[in-house]
A = this chain, B = another copy of it.
């Protein structure tokens, strides 16, 4: 009761808010994260650097491993997940299935080559260092999967989502996620001694969902706006579309794919309807508010103390270099027909490992097949690949555009 009649600390809350103190604390945390992300973006952009790296750094600075102003909890994680889901939904809204199908061949080639090369590289390095084959397989796998979040954001910021190389990256990332799902199932099953036909089933379900999404997108072509606004609660198509996005994202997650794949597919479907343009505009405010949380929380979760150990740092940098070179090579080989710089951009776009790499490293640790030092090195390597990609893209994208204009 005292809280009701004293001012207390700056956020002690009054009587009317006594019951909501937990919520207020969480809102303060979200505010600090968003402010940190935006200040980080501002500083980096003033320095001529990619804004999204600033959001990650801003999140790191206010987060528990630096200033400790905020310790992101469940609500921040939900905002982060919604952030990347909404981001990929907006990417889907800007892509047409025809355009994606048109780059099917380079996309699939890139996905396969840019998955095999890092696995060979990671496996080879780990085997050279004397790791068991199963541990080496996990190292390779951690370097194999692409997380498309940061690349989507960079390509969006550069306004090049309509370019051929952007479509190839996105298509390749889609295929990549399905391949990674299969491989993680297989390697995890071997580690557990529990490999079963259900692994294959998961893969089939993943491919099925994406193909179904493509088919739905084709059938959705030219659907009138009224399809979304027939409910009385829907003044605009936004809320029905938002519900569809969430449902597809959760369905993808239920199958074992990333939620963002589902959100992207939902975007693809709606992109074909007559509500597409209006939705693109209406989703933008949601993306502006939610998306920074994804990058800020990514930053806040970075524990860079492992980088202080020179042994781990050297191993991590080596892994990261292998990760960068093999993905770049994958792009150059897989997408060589779309032009040199465009293919390089595709490869660079596949470099960030993000949350998929982190999940693989954690699986390996949980299965007891990698020791702490190797785990830490894998985590740091994942971080390095994620932070370096925007710089490489900022370098290659203008050249790819020039190359396309010149030819």
Residues on A lying within 8 angstroms of B by beta carbon are 1-2, 4-7, 10-20, 22-24, 26-28, 30-31, 34-35, 38, 41-42, 45-46, 51, 73-75, 77-78, 81-82, 145, 177, 180-181, 184-185, 188-189, 191-192, 194-196, 198-199, 201-202, 205, 231-233, 235-236, 238-239, 242-243, 246-247, 249-250, 253-259, 282-286, 288-289, 292, 355-356, 358-360, 362-363, 366-367
Identical copies of this chain, number? 2
Indicate whether A14 sits within 8 Å of B257 (C-beta atoms), given known contacts A24-B250, A198-B6, A231-B38. Answer: yes
Chain B residues lying within 8 Å of A26, measured Cβ to Cβ, are 74, 77-78
- Whether B289 and A181, one on each chain, are in contact in the complex, defined by CB atoms closer than 8 angstroms, is no
Q: Select A188's contact among B5, B177, B289, beta carbons within 8 Å.
A: B5
| Contact yes or no, A22 B283, CB < 8 A | no
**A78 & B30 in contact (Cβ 8 Å cutoff):** yes
* A42-B359 in contact given A22-B77, A75-B75 (Cβ < 8 Å): no
Q: Is B356 in contact with A250, judged by CB distance below 8 angstroms?
A: no
- Is the CB–CB distance between A1 and B192 below 8 Å? yes
14 contacts between A and B (CB under 8 A): A5-B188, A15-B181, A16-B145, A18-B363, A19-B359, A23-B77, A27-B78, A27-B249, A27-B250, A38-B233, A41-B232, A46-B232, A74-B74, A238-B285
Q: Which of B23, B24, B73, B239 contacts A38 (CB 8 A)?
A: B239
- Judge whether A243 and B19 touch: CB under 8 Å: no
Give every chain B residue within 8 A of A145 (Cβ-Cβ).
16
Question: A198 to B238, Cβ gap below 8 A?
Answer: no
Bound CA span A17–B23, Å: 26
Q: CB distance A20 to B201 under 8 Å? A: no
Q: A198-B7, A289-B286 are in contact. Are A359 and B243 (CB under 8 A)?
A: no
Which of B20, B192, B255, B286 is close to A5, meaning CB atoms less than 8 Å apart?
B192
CA of A35 to CA of B366 in the docked complex: distance in angstroms? Answer: 36
Residues of chain B within 8 A (CB-CB) of A285 are 238, 282-286
Q: Which of B17, B74, B81, B286 contacts A258 (CB 8 A)?
A: B17
Q: A181-B15, A232-B42 are contacts. A4–B198 as well, Cβ < 8 Å?
A: no
Across-interface contacts of A181 in B (CB, < 8 A): 14-16
- Are A188's CB and B27's CB within 8 A? no
Complex interface: chain B residues within 8 A of A363 (CB): 1, 4, 15, 18
